[in-house]
């Protein structure tokens, strides 16, 4: 029999009130509170807290506070990833972000979702779908990335976009819903 955490990470319906998951979210919230309350001059402390929150982080990662996530441990960051202020990652499923990806301010990444059936939704169970952002992508400020989406390498997502489906490599895409505007290949 799977644990609720195993179900969650597998993209199956799971109980978010499970004590293990509740404890892990609480631990992440405490780290986030310390990170978000840290002083600008506390660079080493911020990096230590980020490494503790997101162990699968490459070198040269920088996240501007405030930052919010559910667990942190379900996020993978490549080298030199940068998040501007006020970004959110709901990481109940794996969220993989490639090297040199840049997030503008207030980017929202939602791996969490809920059943479409109202009776199933009323049960309190939820589920998630993994998200992947390829290396060298640039995600414009205020973008919302929906569950299960893959954004290609070297792709630029325009500010304020709502990404509801996969976006290929090497394109400029924008809008609500986000759609490819043009190729960026030379």
Cβ atoms < 10 Å from Cβ of 140: 18
pLDDT tens digits along 117-170: 999 999 999 999 999 999 999 999 999 999 999 999 999 999 999 999 999 999
39 is catalytic: no
pLDDT tens digits along 43-100: 999 999 999 999 999 999 999 999 999 999 999 999 999 999 999 999 999 999 999 9
Contact indicator for 84, 105 with CB cutoff of 8 Å: yes
What single string gives the DSSP state of each residue in 15-56?
A: -TT-HHHHHHHHHHHHHHHHHHH--TT-HHHHHHHHHHH-SS
The pLDDT score that the predictor gives to residue 53 is 98
d(CA 31, CA 164): 30
Which one from 114, 150, 153, 154 is the annotated catalytic residue?
114
- Across the beta sheet with 108-110, what order do the strands follow? 67-69, 87-90, 108-110, 144-145, 162-163
The pLDDT score that the predictor gives to residue 186 is 78
Secondary structure percentages of the chain, helix, strand, coil, to 5: 20, 30, 50
Please give the model's pTM, rounded to 2 decimal places: 0.96
Q: In CATH, which superfamily holds the domain spanning 4-183?
A: Hexapeptide repeat proteins (2.160.10.10)
The pLDDT score that the predictor gives to residue 18 is 97
Cβ atoms < 10 Å from Cβ of 69: 24
DSSP, res 92: S
């Amino acid at each position: 029999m799977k644990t609720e955490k195993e179900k969650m990470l597998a993209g199956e319906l799971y109980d978010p009130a499970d004590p293990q998951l509740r404890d892990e979210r609480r631990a992440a919230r405490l780290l986030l509170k310390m990170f978000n309350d840290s002083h600008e001059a506390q660079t080493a402390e911020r990096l230590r807290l980020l490494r503790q929150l997101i162990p699968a982080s490459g070198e040269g990662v920088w996240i501007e506070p405030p930052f919010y996530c559910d667990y942190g441990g379900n996020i993978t960051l490549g080298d030199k990833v940068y998040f501007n202020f006020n970004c959110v990652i709901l990481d109940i499923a794996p969220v993989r972000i490639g090297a040199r990806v840049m997030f503008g301010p207030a980017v929202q990444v939602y791996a969490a979702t809920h059943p479409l059936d109202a009776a199933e939704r009323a049960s309190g169970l939820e589920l998630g779908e993994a998200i992947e952002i390829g290396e060298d992508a640039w995600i414009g400020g205020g973008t919302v990335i929906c569950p299960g989406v893959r954004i290609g390498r070297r792709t630029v997502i325009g500010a304020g976009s709502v990404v509801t489906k996969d976006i290929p490599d090497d394109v400029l895409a924008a809008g609500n819903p986000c759609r490819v505007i043009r190729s960026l290949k030379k």
